[in-house]
Structure 1
Amino acid sequence: TGYRNKCEFLISVGADGEDKTIGFRLGKYKGGSCAVVGPEGTCHVSAEAKRVVSVFQKFIRTTAYSVYSPETYEGHWKQLTVRTTRTKQAMAIIFFNPQKLEEEEINSLKDTMKKYFTEGEGKESGVSSLYFVRDGQRKSPNLEDLPCELVAGESSIHEELLALKFRISPHSFFQVNTGAAEVLYSAVGEWAQLDQDSTVLDVCCGTGTIGISLAKRVKKVIGIEMCQEAVEDARVNAKLNGLTNIEFHCGKAEDTFPNILNALVSPSITAIVDPPRAGLHSKVILAIRRAEHLKRLVYVACNAKAAMANFIDLCRAPSNRVHGAPFRPVRAMAVDLFPQTMHVEMLLLFERVDYNSQQP
């Protein structure tokens, strides 16, 4: 219980009619309900996050600004994201629609917020990093595209995982269940069968967690990630842990991965991929198939159904479109990263079919 280290809460009218409530929506917005209920009774939200929500709710209720309505597009307060760590740090990111407010008024609000969390009642919330985000878009934006303004505290928080240290910035990806992530990454390391001659390609590496957890047992780690902020965190994380055999490249996997893979001459290459829900771009899969010196692939899938096309392309027979010997699935395991929900993280090991080896 209380396992989530990142929660996104909506700000709306409460189910009990109470204005300016922070919590989770009771039903789908399409169903006509914008009401939210607080997280107090939930089992997956940590006590630290619940405390931040409670204090933030008190704060916004002291302000003159109303909650944002997705029906009328009026109002201001939209969302609160809370990130917490085992090291007892907390980051709060508040999303606010400025509408037609003057810059002076917004700055005044940020000053009031800063004072509340550094000198007032919010001081006891445990928030060590406080951000303000202007979100004036009607359609749900890509949150990574919205700049975060640091209002108070440190610019990042730090987490410990497998006796390693990791810096986490507002937009950086980090598995939401730290304890279960340790189980997942330990299994990745075991399945990858690495040694001091191995080169690891960590695709969609986020803040570098998987690659960094493996770096001490291999020759080299190369991480690829499209979020610039996460790449910066990954580089800092490598330094934090005294690692010099690891490098990170910023770019879309489909644009970056083929060139990096083609330039590698190491006889022992293992790819570890941890893509977003939709899976890897087909260009990445085709590049993996072409690179016959890549013999082993560990695939971390948060939605195995969505990644099924990737699995099929890895294993299908060579054709005009797909070059190179196919892979075959060797092991599979589910890791319960999201207890109390229907979702699990899937781990699959693929090995290249060797047509030259003698089959019994």
Structure 2
Amino acid sequence: MSHRTQSSKLINYGLHAINSQVAPLVNLSYEAQLSKKQSIIKSILAVVGKKLASVNSELKLRPDGLPCELEEIRAAPLITGYRNKDEFSIWPGDDGKTPLVGFLSNSLSKSTTHCIEPDLSISTKDSHKKLAKKFQEYIQSVSPLGICTYFDKPTGNWRRLIVRSNQENQLMATCVLHPKILTPNELKIEKSRLLDFFKPVADELSLSSLYFQACPKERCSSVIAPFQLLLGNETICETLLGYKFHVSPDSFFQVNTSGTEVLYNSLFEKLKIDKDTVVIDLNCEIGTAIIPIASRVKKIYGIDPSLSTIDRAYRNAQENGISNCQFFQGYILDVLPELFKKLISEKNVVVITKPKRGGLKNSILNLLREFEPVKQIAYLSSKPDSINAISNFVYLSKAFRPADNVLGGHFNPITAIPVDLFPQTNHQELIFIFEPFEPDIRTDS
């Protein structure tokens, strides 16, 4: 085999290996990707329809077997280089020795996991690739610390590099290691090495924030392992629908900014809101889903279990001149009953929920079903095919059944809108709109 043929084979393998992890639909045209995702959502809704028919005889399915109207999937404005966040693993390459910064894949020559550099990743920004390459240089040539391949071994520390960016291409990097037996002084020395290495090239890399985290677990919150700012600004500022949001290392922000604008515009089109409406976001994060509509409603409320996230939401509201807001730190079940007592005289309460993959507990759904002022629920799911999401969809529409602890009035599914937030992948976001049951709310058309 010639060197050129072997090189071409390796490039083709690398392209396949990396995109099979981060962009499995790369070989389909974008139109074909959208068609596939539309079909997936239709199948999910058909399953929901069958389940609903068995638990609520008052709900009438459409002739196509769906429980509600399914709109055409909304396309993403950007389909390549769209990710504003990448998590790069630090792991040996195909030779089993050389530390690389990139994505994990199966080995070309043996059945082991290895790291492949992100150069060929279609969804990763070039600026992220450049920073990953620079950090790889640091790992290979400067840092004396090895790779953390096993938690139970005393040596080997480096684990991952997390890169975030905004539309102005300002970058935030978080370098994560497992401290293991490193002393506080050794950690201090390593942080100094990082700073000395990246400070001279920060402008070249558009690196506006450099963080360090010593995380002794698979994942660590900022409470367990604080994010330590080594260089630059505390946050990067992203603009979404004309509003500014400051994003910190532990902030949740959708990975596709322009796609999120499509998502929220599609959501806002369906919300029945006016100056007498109160909007509650059960999973408010840093306020991205409610701050943009604050000026159109009476008041917005947000709930999140993280104190730092709530603090960031308040700061973002202040940054955008929003005063008709209140954010609560706590769990939904602890906050919502007291909030509902406060809102008992309201006529139009709209609830937005973006639950994690575990979905919402039935006790939370019962609270929504029992609170008469709730006139609309917008359920956003990035995993609409999960058992938990489907169970939530069905539970909201179940008939009142106190013997089974299904309380309050049920909701009708009104509209489903898929949004392609993740081009080149099998994933998408679904907006599912529910409203209180009214006879004949839908026709058979």
TM-score (norm 1): 0.93
Match of 2:198 among 114, 117, 125: 117
- Is the counterpart of residue 11 in structure 1 residue 90 in structure 2? yes
Within 5 Å, which residues of 2 pair with 1:174-253? 174-253=253-332
Counterparts of 1:212 and 1:352 in 2: how far apart (Å)?
A: 25
- Structure 2 distance, partners of 1:356, 1:41, is 53
- Alpha-carbon distance in 2 for matches of 1:225, 1:26: 35
Equivalent in the alignment of 2:3: none
Q: Please, what TM-score do these two structures have when normalized by structure 2?
A: 0.76
Amino acid at match of 2:145: Y
The AA in structure 2 aligned to 1:170 is P
Give the C-alpha shift of residue 141 in structure 1: 3.0
1:351 aligns with 2:429: no
The answer to whether the 8 A contact 1:116-1:123 is kept is no
Please give the alpha-carbon distance, in whole angstroms, between the structure 1 residues aligned to 2:208 and 2:81: 20
Secondary structure, counterpart of 2:364 in structure 1: helix
The one-letter amino acid paired with 2:338 is N
Matches within 5 A, 1:129-208: 129-137=209-217, 140-144=218-222, 145-208=224-287
Match of 1:293 in 2: 373
Q: Which residue is equivalent to 2:112?
A: 33
For 1:355 and 1:134, locate their aligned partners in 2 and report how far apart those are by CA, in whole Å: 57
Q: Which digits, 9 at most, give the CA deviation of each residue in 1:173-231, with x for residues without a partner?
A: 11110001001111111111211111000110111001101111111000111122221
Q: Whose relative contact order is higher, 1 or 2, with alpha carbons under 8 Å and at least 6 apart?
A: 2
1:33 Cα deviation after fit: 3.0
Count how many residue pairs are aligned between Structure 1 and Structure 2. 355
**Structure 2 unaligned spans of 5+:** 1-79
Query: Would you say 1:108 and 2:205 are equivalent positions?
Result: no
- Is 1:341 aligned to 2:341, yes or no? no
Are 1:258 and 1:284, in contact at CA under 8 Å, matched by a contact in 2?
A: no
Q: Structure 1: where are the runs of 5+ without partners?
A: none
Q: Does 1:64 align with 2:144?
A: yes
Q: Which residue identity lines up with residue 22 of structure 1 in the other structure? A: V
CA contact (8 A) 2:158 2:176 kept: yes
TM-align CA RMSD: 2.1
Task: Tell me which residue corresponds to 1:90.
Answer: 171
Instruction: State how far apart, in whole Å, the 1-side matches of 2:359 and 2:82 are.
Output: 25
Amino acid at match of 1:255: D
Counterpart residue identity of residue 270, structure 1: V
User: Per-residue deviation at 1:18?
Assistant: 5.5
SS across alignment from 1:35? strand
Q: What percent identity do the matched residue pairs reach? A: 33
**C-alpha distance in 1 between matches for 2:349 and 2:113:** 50
Question: Does the alignment pair 1:329 with 2:413?
Answer: yes
Residue type of the alignment partner of 1:288: L
Q: Give 1:158's aligned amino acid.
A: C
Quick one: structure 1 residues 180 and 252, their matched pair in 2 at CA, closer, same or farther if it must change by over 3 Å?
same
Specify whether residues 100 and 123 from structure 1 end up closer, same or farther in structure 2 by C-alpha distance, changes over 3 A only. Answer: farther
**More helix as a share of residues:** 2
Distance 1:230 1:23 in 2: 28
- What's the secondary structure of 1:67's corresponding residue? coil
User: Which secondary structure state, in structure 2, belongs to the residue aligned with residue 87 of structure 1?
Assistant: coil
